[in-house]
Structure 1
Amino acid sequence: MFQIVRLCPETGSWIMFESPLVYILSVSLQVGLLLNGFILKFYISQTQQQASRSLMVYLQNLTAADFLLCLCLPLRIIHYASNSAILHILHCSIGATSLYLNMYTSILFMGYIAVNRYLTIIHPSGTHILQTVRTAHIVSTVTWVFLLAPTIAYNIMFFITHKPFTSDRCYCGPLFSTSFSILHKAFQISCTIIFLLVFICLVFFYYSISRRVLQAHTSRRVLQAQQRQNMLVLVSIFCVCFVPHHLFRVLFVFLLNTCSVDPVLYYLKEAATMVSVFNICLDPLVYFFLCKTFRAQVRKASRRTNIQQANTESQSTEEKLSIRASSQRQD
């Protein structure tokens, strides 16, 4: 008979593992809030100007998803640092689904951004129906509803069917009933399919754009090379943040009830989840490379900061010289 391995024993090794997770997630939360808050502030101040481009609609929704993920991270951080049964149940329901909701919202909007850039290069002389602002708003709304509906249903089913809390506070599996475990695996399969579809599209779009750059005339090659660079940034962030998470997550879910599961796999899965959360700090790079107005705003803010620092240093130097001159007169 196979035995379910106890994945999260209350040992010193788990404590040593969770401590850096709390620290890294806390730093990611602060950096993510700062960057995405700055982008949201920029968006609010540029509403009318940005409303004329479908790409901006997708970028704004990507930023909104990242900002909402920032608001959900404190529950995960507190869960790592606490032994509370209530927090564990909330983490396995609301906390986990909030993470997935915002993660797959980000994944889908990255896919929409890639489609938009692909069509811009393939059909540079016209506007495709998928590039209109109205279509972008409709697609964005449908995406949020499409992901919110199963998320709410998942949480309702969890609270109705979950088992009593056990001493194993790290893993959510012991809380799942038999019927809910089937739903959980179906949920994981659906999420993995979404990831794979977007991943394949991103690779195809980058390959197609690269070919178009090589075939383009010299007059257009520079512009299209810049578009390829932007697509490379998007694909790189996607691969770094989401590929490790899905690799270890799939292994963890489908090897759960076999003797081949090792605690190390759980640690790798949690570490990969932490890396996926780091996309809240990397996604602003997408906004920076794809939005000229935002780049100009960042550079303006940077110049303003440098001028203020120079003025402060100059004022400080003048004060020091004044104090030194006064001291010399007294002598």
Structure 2
Amino acid sequence: MMRVYFCSNQNIQSSFTVYMKNLVAADFFLCLSLPLRIAAYANNSSIMNNIHCSFGATAFFLNIYASILFMDFIAANRYLKIVRPMETHALQMVHTARYISAATWLCLLALSSIYLILFLQNFRGQIPDAFTCESSDNSPLSVTYKSIHCMTFVSFIFVLVSLILLYWKTHQKLREVQFSSQVSFRSQTFETSKHNMLVLVVIFCVCFVPYQLVKLPYIFIKPLLRDCTAVHTYYILKELTILLTALNGSLDPLIYFFFCKTFRSQFTFRGRQPVRE
């Protein structure tokens, strides 16, 4: 695993590094859940199907939304540093970042645990379909499954809107600096911050927007479809969006590279002295 202290050293800690380390952890555990999915698809056995649909799918869900939320926290942290460069907001305190991170994991673990418990109860002695991991439409598991995805979809929309607004406000701040009498290095700093924020927004949209646009309609429309071709087409589309979501683990290092000076220094021939963000 990538060394999670690449953005800090033992003596330097910030809210930014707290969120970045949590994002690294989410990416790492997301990658760990993928072999279970691959194994279930490759070997359609009851044991692998149950393991994938219970623990594998739960871990995948948990770390997807952890990545979504921590990307938003990182963007908000960088924005506050741009608009308030000479002061520290309460949300930028290290202890606050730790509390927010812990609360995020606990909330996601609670939602995931509810689904996991209901799944184990619902499929006791049964063989779930590894390709859908779904039960009958009127079961408590199905109702809970739909409710959780509706809640997370609302959270996703909130994060998406906030990321777009943060990028737009960063752009507005850059324009103000460019038309003011402030020194040029401030303008260059804001320009870099705007580009970094754009990288984060693009990665977020590429990896997560297609999945969210397809997954929720798929859950509610699939039971109404009677044409096998339509069901299969919709399923393939959903799986492609899941592939894009899994790609997030490979694209997030771009966020580390653009947002973290110490991480960039690992790819240069200069001295590797830790640089405070």
- After the TM superposition, which residues 32-47 of structure 1 pair with which residues of structure 2 at under 5 Å, given as runs? 37-40=1-4, 42=6, 46-47=8-9
Residue in structure 1 matching 2:257, options 272, 288, 297:
288
Q: d(CA) in 1 for partners of 2:83 and 2:93?
A: 16
Distance 1:132 1:169 in 2: 44
Q: Which has the higher helix share?
A: 1
CA distance in 2, matches of 1:166, 1:176: 16
Instruction: Tell me the CA shift for residue 298 of structure 1.
Output: 2.5
Match of 2:190 in 1: 224
**Cα distance in 1 for residues equivalent to 2:55 and 2:138:** 17
Tell me the equivalent position of 1:242. 208
Give the conservation status (yes or no) of the 8 Å contact 2:257–2:264.
yes
Alpha-carbon spacing, 1:39–1:284, altered in 2? closer, same or farther (3 Å):
farther
After superposition, the Cα gap between the structure-2 partners of 1:106 and 1:237, relative to the gap in structure 1 and judged at 3 Å, is same
Q: Which runs of 5+ in 1 are unaligned?
A: 1-36, 304-331
Q: Deviations over 1:33-88 (max 9, x none)?
A: xxxx2343646xx541442x210110011001101111111101111211111211
* Residues 94, 176 of structure 1: alpha-carbon distance in 2 compared, 3 angstrom cutoff: farther
Query: Do the aligned partners of 1:57 and 1:136 also contact (CA within 8 Å) in 2?
Result: yes
Choose the corresponding residue for 1:104, options 65, 84, 88: 65
Matched position secondary structure for 1:48: coil
The one of 55, 77, 84 aligned to 1:116: 77
CA RMSD of aligned residues (A): 2.0
Change (3 A) 1:149 1:174: closer
Is structure 2 residue 14 aligned with structure 1 residue 48?
no
Q: Distance in 2 between matches of 1:109 and 1:253?
A: 26
Question: Does 1:268 find its partner at 2:237?
Answer: yes
SS for the counterpart of 1:262 is: helix
| 2:225 is aligned with 1:256 | no
1:142 to 103, 118, 134: 103
Q: Distance in 2 between matches of 1:105 and 1:50?
A: 24
Query: 1:187 offset after TM fit, Å?
Result: 0.9
Q: Label 1:169 to 1:176 Cα distance change in 2 as closer, same or farther (>3 A).
A: farther
Structure 1 residues 204 and 41: CA distance shift in structure 2, 3 A: closer
Q: Distance in 2 between matches of 1:167 and 1:127?
A: 51
Secondary structure of the residue aligned to 1:40 is: coil
Any unmatched runs of 5+ in structure 2? 273-277
Kept in 1, the 8 Å contact 2:22–2:70? The answer is: yes
Distance 2:212 2:109 in 1: 20
Q: Secondary structure at the match of 1:256?
A: helix
How far apart are 1:161 and its partner, in Å? 1.9
- 1:190-209 pair list within 5 angstroms: 190-209=151-170
Q: 2:244 & 2:141 partners in 1: Cα distance? A: 27
Measure the CA separation in 2 of the matches of 1:257 and 1:270: 17
* Aligned twin of 1:66: 27
Match of 1:278 among 223, 247, 258: 247
Contact 1:161 / 1:177 at 8 angstroms: preserved in 2?
A: no
CA distance in 2, matches of 1:143, 1:230: 24
In the aligned structure 2, how far is the partner of 1:92 from the partner of 1:133? Answer: 37
Do 1:162 and 1:177's aligned partners in 2 also have CA atoms closer than 8 Å? no
Please tell me the residue identity of whatever aligns with 1:271. L
- SS in structure 2 opposite 1:298? coil
Instruction: Work out whether residues 203 and 235 of structure 1, in 8 Å CA contact, stay in contact via their aligned partners in 2.
Output: yes
Distance 1:112 1:236, change over 3 A: same
d(CA) in 2 for partners of 1:147, 1:279: 18
Change in 2 beyond 3 A, CA 1:142/1:169: closer
User: In 1, Cα distance between the equivalents of 2:128 and 2:242?
Assistant: 23
Paired amino acid for 1:96: A
Give the secondary structure class of the aligned counterpart of 1:215. Answer: helix
Q: Name the % identity.
A: 40
State the secondary structure of the residue aligned to 2:222.
Answer: coil
Structure 1 match to 2:174: 213
Distance in 1, matches of 2:172 and 2:126, equals 55
Residue 165 of structure 1 and its aligned partner are, at CA, apart by 3.9
